[in-house]
Amino acid sequence: MSLTDPKFINQLDALYLLARRILGGSLQADRRTERKGSGIDFADYAEYQQGDDYRAIDWRVYGRLEQLLVKLFEVEEDTTVYVILDTSPSMASKLLEAKRLAAALGYIALHSLDRLVAYTLSDRLAPLTAQGRGRAMTLPFLRALEEVNCQGRDTRFKSCCKALQARHRRKGIVIVISDFLYESGYEDGLRLLQSVGHDIHCIQIHDPADLDCTWVGDAQLTCSETGQVKKVTINESQAAAYQQAMADWNEGLFKHCRRKGIGLTQITTEDHFEVVIQELLRKGGLTS
Protein backbone atom coordinates (compact mmCIF):
# COMPACT_ATOMS: atom_id res chain seq x y z
CA MET A 1 0.00 0.00 0.00
CA SER A 2 1.28 3.49 -0.91
CA LEU A 3 2.06 5.87 1.95
CA THR A 4 -0.12 8.48 0.23
CA ASP A 5 -3.02 6.11 -0.44
CA PRO A 6 -6.27 7.48 1.08
CA LYS A 7 -6.83 4.23 2.98
CA PHE A 8 -3.39 4.46 4.60
CA ILE A 9 -3.88 8.15 5.44
CA ASN A 10 -7.20 7.24 7.09
CA GLN A 11 -5.25 4.80 9.27
CA LEU A 12 -2.81 7.56 10.19
CA ASP A 13 -5.65 9.92 11.01
CA ALA A 14 -7.20 7.33 13.33
CA LEU A 15 -3.86 7.05 15.15
CA TYR A 16 -3.63 10.85 15.47
CA LEU A 17 -7.16 10.96 16.94
CA LEU A 18 -6.10 8.30 19.45
CA ALA A 19 -3.03 10.38 20.35
CA ARG A 20 -5.21 13.45 20.81
CA ARG A 21 -7.63 11.57 23.04
CA ILE A 22 -4.94 9.94 25.20
CA LEU A 23 -2.10 12.47 25.16
CA GLY A 24 -3.71 15.69 24.02
CA GLY A 25 -2.32 15.09 20.54
CA SER A 26 1.35 15.05 21.44
CA LEU A 27 3.87 12.23 21.27
CA GLN A 28 5.23 13.70 24.50
CA ALA A 29 3.00 12.98 27.48
CA ASP A 30 4.20 16.00 29.50
CA ARG A 31 5.15 18.94 27.34
CA ARG A 32 4.77 21.69 29.93
CA THR A 33 7.87 23.79 30.48
CA GLU A 34 9.03 25.41 33.70
CA ARG A 35 9.29 28.76 31.88
CA LYS A 36 6.64 31.22 33.00
CA GLY A 37 4.67 33.31 30.56
CA SER A 38 1.18 33.94 29.17
CA GLY A 39 -0.05 30.36 28.97
CA ILE A 40 -3.23 28.80 30.34
CA ASP A 41 -2.55 27.30 33.78
CA PHE A 42 -1.75 29.66 36.67
CA ALA A 43 1.75 29.13 38.07
CA ASP A 44 2.80 32.01 40.35
CA TYR A 45 2.78 35.75 41.08
CA ALA A 46 5.50 38.31 40.41
CA GLU A 47 5.81 41.98 41.34
CA TYR A 48 4.64 44.32 38.60
CA GLN A 49 7.53 45.91 36.70
CA GLN A 50 7.37 48.81 34.29
CA GLY A 51 6.63 47.38 30.87
CA ASP A 52 4.65 44.37 32.13
CA ASP A 53 1.22 43.79 30.63
CA TYR A 54 -1.14 45.67 32.95
CA ARG A 55 -3.91 43.23 32.01
CA ALA A 56 -2.07 40.55 33.99
CA ILE A 57 -2.37 42.53 37.25
CA ASP A 58 -4.48 40.74 39.86
CA TRP A 59 -6.64 43.61 41.12
CA ARG A 60 -8.23 41.48 43.82
CA VAL A 61 -4.81 40.95 45.39
CA TYR A 62 -4.16 44.69 45.08
CA GLY A 63 -7.45 45.37 46.89
CA ARG A 64 -6.35 43.16 49.80
CA LEU A 65 -2.62 43.84 49.99
CA GLU A 66 -2.19 47.11 48.06
CA GLN A 67 0.54 45.41 46.01
CA LEU A 68 0.69 45.29 42.24
CA LEU A 69 1.23 41.64 41.36
CA VAL A 70 0.97 40.06 37.92
CA LYS A 71 -0.15 36.51 37.29
CA LEU A 72 2.32 34.08 35.68
CA PHE A 73 1.20 31.05 33.75
CA GLU A 74 2.88 27.85 32.65
CA VAL A 75 3.72 27.94 28.98
CA GLU A 76 3.05 24.95 26.76
CA GLU A 77 5.62 24.88 23.98
CA ASP A 78 5.69 23.00 20.73
CA THR A 79 7.90 19.94 20.71
CA THR A 80 10.56 19.19 18.11
CA VAL A 81 10.28 15.60 16.94
CA TYR A 82 13.34 14.13 15.22
CA VAL A 83 12.56 10.99 13.21
CA ILE A 84 15.72 9.08 12.24
CA LEU A 85 15.08 6.19 9.84
CA ASP A 86 17.79 3.59 9.25
CA THR A 87 18.05 2.99 5.49
CA SER A 88 21.28 0.98 5.51
CA PRO A 89 21.31 -2.25 3.43
CA SER A 90 20.61 -4.47 6.46
CA MET A 91 17.16 -2.86 6.63
CA ALA A 92 16.07 -4.12 3.19
CA SER A 93 13.50 -6.65 4.44
CA LYS A 94 12.31 -4.32 7.22
CA LEU A 95 12.17 -0.98 5.42
CA LEU A 96 8.50 -1.00 4.44
CA GLU A 97 7.32 -1.57 8.01
CA ALA A 98 9.89 0.94 9.29
CA LYS A 99 8.60 3.55 6.84
CA ARG A 100 5.03 2.97 8.00
CA LEU A 101 6.10 3.54 11.60
CA ALA A 102 7.96 6.73 10.60
CA ALA A 103 4.91 7.88 8.63
CA ALA A 104 2.61 7.42 11.63
CA LEU A 105 4.92 9.20 14.07
CA GLY A 106 5.56 12.07 11.65
CA TYR A 107 1.85 12.40 10.89
CA ILE A 108 0.95 12.68 14.58
CA ALA A 109 3.71 15.27 15.12
CA LEU A 110 2.67 17.44 12.17
CA HIS A 111 -1.04 17.30 13.02
CA SER A 112 -0.19 18.20 16.63
CA LEU A 113 1.62 21.30 15.26
CA ASP A 114 4.94 20.03 16.59
CA ARG A 115 8.09 20.71 14.58
CA LEU A 116 9.19 17.69 12.54
CA VAL A 117 12.80 17.03 11.54
CA ALA A 118 13.34 13.82 9.53
CA TYR A 119 16.58 12.15 8.42
CA THR A 120 17.75 8.87 6.95
CA LEU A 121 20.62 7.02 8.58
CA SER A 122 23.27 4.87 6.89
CA ASP A 123 26.93 5.71 6.30
CA ARG A 124 25.85 9.34 6.54
CA LEU A 125 22.96 11.40 7.88
CA ALA A 126 20.77 12.69 5.04
CA PRO A 127 17.72 15.00 5.30
CA LEU A 128 14.53 13.26 4.31
CA THR A 129 12.52 16.44 3.83
CA ALA A 130 12.60 20.09 4.83
CA GLN A 131 11.96 20.59 8.53
CA GLY A 132 8.83 22.43 9.55
CA ARG A 133 5.47 22.16 11.22
CA GLY A 134 1.81 22.08 10.28
CA ARG A 135 -0.52 19.83 8.33
CA ALA A 136 0.56 21.29 4.99
CA MET A 137 3.82 19.37 5.37
CA THR A 138 2.09 15.99 5.65
CA LEU A 139 1.92 15.01 1.96
CA PRO A 140 5.47 16.22 1.12
CA PHE A 141 6.74 14.23 4.10
CA LEU A 142 4.87 11.07 3.10
CA ARG A 143 5.96 11.37 -0.54
CA ALA A 144 9.62 11.79 0.47
CA LEU A 145 9.33 8.83 2.81
CA GLU A 146 7.74 6.70 0.09
CA GLU A 147 10.69 7.28 -2.26
CA VAL A 148 13.33 6.18 0.27
CA ASN A 149 15.35 3.07 -0.55
CA CYS A 150 18.21 1.33 1.20
CA GLN A 151 21.53 3.02 0.55
CA GLY A 152 25.11 3.32 1.75
CA ARG A 153 27.79 0.76 2.53
CA ASP A 154 27.64 0.67 6.30
CA THR A 155 25.83 2.09 9.33
CA ARG A 156 27.91 4.77 11.01
CA PHE A 157 25.63 5.50 13.90
CA LYS A 158 28.01 7.54 16.02
CA SER A 159 29.06 9.85 13.19
CA CYS A 160 25.42 10.32 12.17
CA CYS A 161 24.52 11.27 15.75
CA LYS A 162 27.42 13.75 15.73
CA ALA A 163 26.03 15.27 12.53
CA LEU A 164 22.57 15.62 14.09
CA GLN A 165 24.09 17.20 17.20
CA ALA A 166 26.00 19.72 15.05
CA ARG A 167 22.96 20.69 12.97
CA HIS A 168 20.32 20.90 15.70
CA ARG A 169 20.81 22.25 19.21
CA ARG A 170 17.13 22.45 20.11
CA LYS A 171 16.08 19.76 22.56
CA GLY A 172 13.32 17.44 21.47
CA ILE A 173 12.20 13.85 21.06
CA VAL A 174 14.57 11.74 18.94
CA ILE A 175 13.01 8.58 17.53
CA VAL A 176 15.47 6.14 15.97
CA ILE A 177 13.88 3.38 13.86
CA SER A 178 16.49 0.73 13.13
CA ASP A 179 17.57 -2.88 13.62
CA PHE A 180 20.47 -1.51 15.74
CA LEU A 181 22.83 -4.08 14.23
CA TYR A 182 25.81 -1.73 14.18
CA GLU A 183 29.27 -3.28 14.03
CA SER A 184 30.70 -0.40 16.05
CA GLY A 185 27.87 -0.51 18.60
CA TYR A 186 25.08 1.88 19.55
CA GLU A 187 26.25 3.13 22.97
CA ASP A 188 28.36 6.10 21.83
CA GLY A 189 25.71 7.40 19.46
CA LEU A 190 22.96 7.24 22.08
CA ARG A 191 25.26 8.94 24.58
CA LEU A 192 25.83 11.82 22.15
CA LEU A 193 22.09 12.30 21.70
CA GLN A 194 21.51 12.29 25.45
CA SER A 195 24.31 14.82 26.01
CA VAL A 196 22.26 17.44 24.15
CA GLY A 197 19.29 16.80 26.41
CA HIS A 198 17.06 14.97 23.93
CA ASP A 199 14.44 12.49 25.04
CA ILE A 200 15.25 9.35 23.04
CA HIS A 201 13.04 6.50 21.95
CA CYS A 202 14.46 3.55 20.01
CA ILE A 203 12.25 1.35 17.88
CA GLN A 204 14.21 -1.81 17.09
CA ILE A 205 12.75 -3.76 14.21
CA HIS A 206 13.84 -7.22 13.06
CA ASP A 207 12.87 -9.54 10.27
CA PRO A 208 12.09 -12.86 12.05
CA ALA A 209 14.73 -14.39 9.78
CA ASP A 210 17.31 -12.22 11.61
CA LEU A 211 16.68 -14.10 14.81
CA ASP A 212 17.08 -17.68 13.64
CA CYS A 213 19.76 -19.53 11.70
CA THR A 214 18.22 -22.22 9.48
CA TRP A 215 21.38 -22.84 7.43
CA VAL A 216 23.27 -26.08 8.05
CA GLY A 217 26.19 -27.07 5.83
CA ASP A 218 28.47 -25.13 3.52
CA ALA A 219 27.48 -21.56 2.68
CA GLN A 220 28.94 -18.42 1.15
CA LEU A 221 27.78 -15.40 3.13
CA THR A 222 27.88 -11.81 1.92
CA CYS A 223 27.56 -8.94 4.39
CA SER A 224 24.67 -6.80 3.17
CA GLU A 225 26.37 -3.60 4.36
CA THR A 226 30.10 -3.99 3.72
CA GLY A 227 29.96 -6.49 0.87
CA GLN A 228 32.49 -8.71 2.64
CA VAL A 229 32.26 -12.39 1.56
CA LYS A 230 33.00 -15.39 3.78
CA LYS A 231 32.79 -19.10 3.10
CA VAL A 232 31.62 -20.97 6.17
CA THR A 233 30.45 -24.39 7.25
CA ILE A 234 27.58 -24.26 9.69
CA ASN A 235 26.62 -27.09 11.99
CA GLU A 236 23.75 -27.25 14.46
CA SER A 237 25.79 -25.98 17.41
CA GLN A 238 26.98 -22.98 15.41
CA ALA A 239 23.41 -22.23 14.34
CA ALA A 240 22.39 -22.32 18.00
CA ALA A 241 25.33 -20.05 18.87
CA TYR A 242 24.14 -17.52 16.25
CA GLN A 243 20.66 -17.48 17.73
CA GLN A 244 22.09 -16.98 21.21
CA ALA A 245 24.35 -14.17 19.98
CA MET A 246 21.34 -12.37 18.47
CA ALA A 247 19.36 -12.81 21.68
CA ASP A 248 22.29 -11.48 23.72
CA TRP A 249 22.69 -8.45 21.43
CA ASN A 250 19.01 -7.54 21.72
CA GLU A 251 19.06 -8.09 25.48
CA GLY A 252 22.13 -5.85 25.68
CA LEU A 253 20.24 -3.06 23.91
CA PHE A 254 17.31 -3.53 26.27
CA LYS A 255 19.50 -3.33 29.37
CA HIS A 256 21.45 -0.33 28.06
CA CYS A 257 18.28 1.64 27.31
CA ARG A 258 16.75 0.79 30.68
CA ARG A 259 19.94 1.80 32.50
CA LYS A 260 20.20 5.11 30.62
CA GLY A 261 16.51 6.03 30.76
CA ILE A 262 16.02 5.61 27.00
CA GLY A 263 12.67 4.43 25.66
CA LEU A 264 12.77 1.17 23.70
CA THR A 265 10.25 -0.78 21.66
CA GLN A 266 11.45 -4.11 20.22
CA ILE A 267 9.35 -5.57 17.40
CA THR A 268 9.51 -7.67 14.24
CA THR A 269 8.03 -7.07 10.81
CA GLU A 270 5.19 -9.37 11.83
CA ASP A 271 3.96 -6.71 14.30
CA HIS A 272 1.55 -4.42 12.46
CA PHE A 273 2.53 -0.75 12.61
CA GLU A 274 -0.91 0.35 13.84
CA VAL A 275 -0.76 -2.01 16.82
CA VAL A 276 2.78 -0.82 17.67
CA ILE A 277 1.79 2.86 17.63
CA GLN A 278 -1.43 2.20 19.58
CA GLU A 279 0.58 0.41 22.26
CA LEU A 280 3.07 3.28 22.47
CA LEU A 281 0.29 5.80 22.92
CA ARG A 282 -1.54 3.75 25.53
CA LYS A 283 1.68 3.45 27.54
CA GLY A 284 1.78 7.24 27.75
CA GLY A 285 3.65 8.32 24.64
CA LEU A 286 7.33 8.30 23.89
CA THR A 287 8.29 10.24 27.02
CA SER A 288 6.74 10.75 30.40
Statement: residue 29 has pLDDT above 80:
no
What percentage of residues in the chain have a pLDDT greater than 70? 83
pTM passes above 0.85: no
Statement: residue 281 has pLDDT above 70:
yes
Domain ranges of the chain: 6-29+78-282, 32-76
Confidence of residue 14 (pLDDT cuts 50, 70, 90): very high
DSSP codes of every residue in the chain:
--TT-HHHHHHHHHHHHHHHHHHTT-SBS--EEEEEES-SEEEEEEE--TTS-GGGB-HHHHHHH---EEEEEEEEPPPEEEEEEE-SGGGTTTHHHHHHHHHHHHHHHHHTT-EEEEEEESSSEEE-S--EESGGGHHHHHHHHHT-----SS--HHHHHHHHHHH--S--EEEEEE----TT-SHHHHHHHHHHT-EEEEEEEE-HHHH-----EEEEEE-TTT--EEEEEE-HHHHHHHHHHHHHHHHHHHHHHHHHT-EEEEEETTS-HHHHHHHHHHTT-SB-
Residue 33: per-residue pLDDT:
44
113-172 pLDDT, tens digit per residue, is 899 999 999 999 999 998 888 999 999 999 999 999 999 888 899 999 999 998 988 899
Higher model confidence: residue 232 or residue 101?
101
User: Of 19-28, 66-75, 76-85, 126-135, which gets the smallest average pLDDT?
Assistant: 66-75
Which CATH architecture group holds 6-29+78-282? 3-Layer(aba) Sandwich (3.40)
Statement: residue 266 has pLDDT above 80:
yes
